[in-house]
Structure 1
Amino acid sequence: MADKVAIVTGGGRGIGRGITMQLLNAGYQVLVAQRQPLDETLSVDSRVAWVEADLTQHETPYLIAQAAEDMLGGADVLVNNAGLMFEKSLDKMDEEEWDRMMIVNMRAPVFLAKALLPQMRRKGGGSVVNIGSIEGIGANPWHAAYCGSKAGVHGLTRALAVDLGRDSIRCNAIAPGWIDSDLSQAYVDAQPNPQGALDDLINLHPVGRTGGPQDIGDAVVFLASDAAAFITGHVLVVDGGRTAKLPLPF
């Protein structure tokens, strides 16, 4: 994979960092597109490049595409990982908050894929991996905007698979479940009984643990690779069996 280039939006933190690290382990060069500079570990890695990117801006997808061309010779793989999430009940949510969610979670992936089409076509094909969510399948309270955006990502994935297959560009999505991160840990710590909350959370997962960023990274590497050459338009649920397990009231 030494000649393969992957773009990962939000690839320097959380799930995105797990994706970046697993792509590097698989031999890719990686362009991280995000607002924050890379941390010390990634910034000194010659296989990693960074472009400052605010995904709320219309021109950003085209700036990222140009950076991929200029820095690394064009992209083979796009991982639309960056996303926004907030909790708001419908009666408290306003149009601006809804629009911002859709801009970051849906518009940016669409037009970044568009901006990279010439590069992928020139290279004979490519792979787009969108990070959706199990909340594109089910819902948590006060997540109307987030669930709507992630369900849209899943639908977009299928549509792009149909439209871009003629160019040998595959498009799949990953629907992560609970993935350990600073934000998810803060959420657990904010509960009245954090240890009890963590125990209950783990009990939701048949595999007996919550997920880590590397779990999503491993799934990305598979879907981006030739091992998944006959897989497109698919939403791969990576949740430790959480959505397969029927809840009981005791």
Structure 2
Amino acid sequence: MKDSWSNPLGLFDVSGKVALITGASGAFGAVAAKALAGAGCKLVLAAGNADALAEVQTACVGLGAEVAALAIRPSDESACDRLVALAAERFGALDILVVASGMNKVAKIDALTPADFETVMDANVTQSWLLARAATKQMKTQENGGKIVLVSSARGLLGHPAGYTAYCASKSAVDGITKALGCELGEDRITVNAIAPTVFRSPLTAWMFEEDDKARGFRDGFLARVPKGRLGEPEDLIGPLLFLSSRASDFYTGHILYADGGYTAG
């Protein structure tokens, strides 16, 4: 505690920690990878798109990080175990897991097929569970345990009128996994929390930030419910990530941290 008073920012220090990030070529995954690289972590990056993954790997190396990358999706138990094993074999530990892989299929319920629903649930829920399971096995062997950070959404709490039944259900399930594992793994020195963004700037949402009638119409309606009065930027996700990945959050587990400008508060 004495060191915390003299150097409170040291609580957020993750330098030298080993982080595994899945979905590392996606919008949130790339932010997480670059943020943790800049903070001094050693990284294992995974994504299905090999070319996009290579770009993120290059960026992280440019930030001074040691990086191992594997073009693989965490689609089954074997793949998840392989990723955790890579972290342990290459860097000797797994301190941080960030599950940023996932997907959405947007369609009203009468147009959404059972196969589409199962695909979204598998990508967002089953894969999060499998990765947490694989990471837990490794983290339980470590003196300092570890940090598991899942990616939820404001849609885990709120519905959406535009055909989001699969996505909302999947993110509600991620919230449930977060809370259940937070309770289950506390004695093992493993914290489990989730970051739940609303709309933030990414290649998929770039149109929402444009200055045309369609974008302005969307923003006018959406921002009426956002107390901060703007859409999210990638930088808005860095602070929550560093908090949940570091000693600063040692007493926090089972939490859903909404990165939403106050959207879910009103």
Tell me the TM-score normalised to structure 1 length: 0.90
Q: Name the counterpart of 2:116.
A: 97
- For this pair of structures, how many residues does the alignment match? 245
Asked if 1:226 corresponds to 2:244, the answer is no
Q: Where does residue 4 of structure 1 map in the other structure?
A: 17
Please, which runs of 5 or more residues in structure 1 have no aligned partner? 246-250
Asked if 1:14 corresponds to 2:27, the answer is yes
- Contact 2:96 2:147 survives alignment (8 Å): yes
Give % identity: 31
Within a 5 Å distance, the mapping from 1:29-178 to structure 2 comes to: 29-36=42-49, 37-39=53-55, 40-42=58-60, 46-124=65-143, 125-141=145-161, 142-178=163-199
How far apart, CA to CA, are the structure 2 residues paired with 1:114 and 1:243?
29
> Contact 2:34–2:59 at 8 Å: present in 1 too?
no
Worse overlay, 153-162 or 192-201: 192-201
Q: Pick 1 or 2: higher relative contact order, CA cutoff 8 A, min separation 6.
A: 1
Residue pair 1:101, 1:146 contacting (<8 A) in 2 also? yes
CA contact (8 A) 1:32 1:50 kept: yes
Matches of 1:122 and 1:113, distance apart in 2: 14
Deviations 1:196-239 (CA, angstroms, capped at 9, x unpaired) = 43344444322222112222232111011111111011111110
Contact 1:61-1:115 at 8 Å conserved across structures: yes
Alignment of 1:198-213 (within 5 A): 198-213=219-234
Aligned to 1:178, the other structure's residue is in SS state coil
Q: Is the 8 A contact 1:5 1:77 kept in 2?
A: yes
Which segment is superposed worse, 59-68 or 199-208? 199-208
Shift of 1:167: 0.8
Answer whether contact 1:16 1:213 (CA < 8 A) is retained. no
Quote the offset at 1:159 in angstroms: 0.6
Q: Structure 2: how far apart are the matches of 1:97 and 1:56?
A: 16
The Cα RMSD (Å) is 2.1
Distance in 1 between residues matched to 2:196 and 2:121, nearest whole Å: 17
- TM-score, structure 2 as length reference: 0.85
SS for the counterpart of 2:140 is: helix
Does the residue aligned with 1:163 lie in a helix, a strand or coil? Answer: helix
Q: CA deviation at 1:188?
A: 6.4
- Amino acid corresponding to residue 27 of structure 1 in structure 2: G
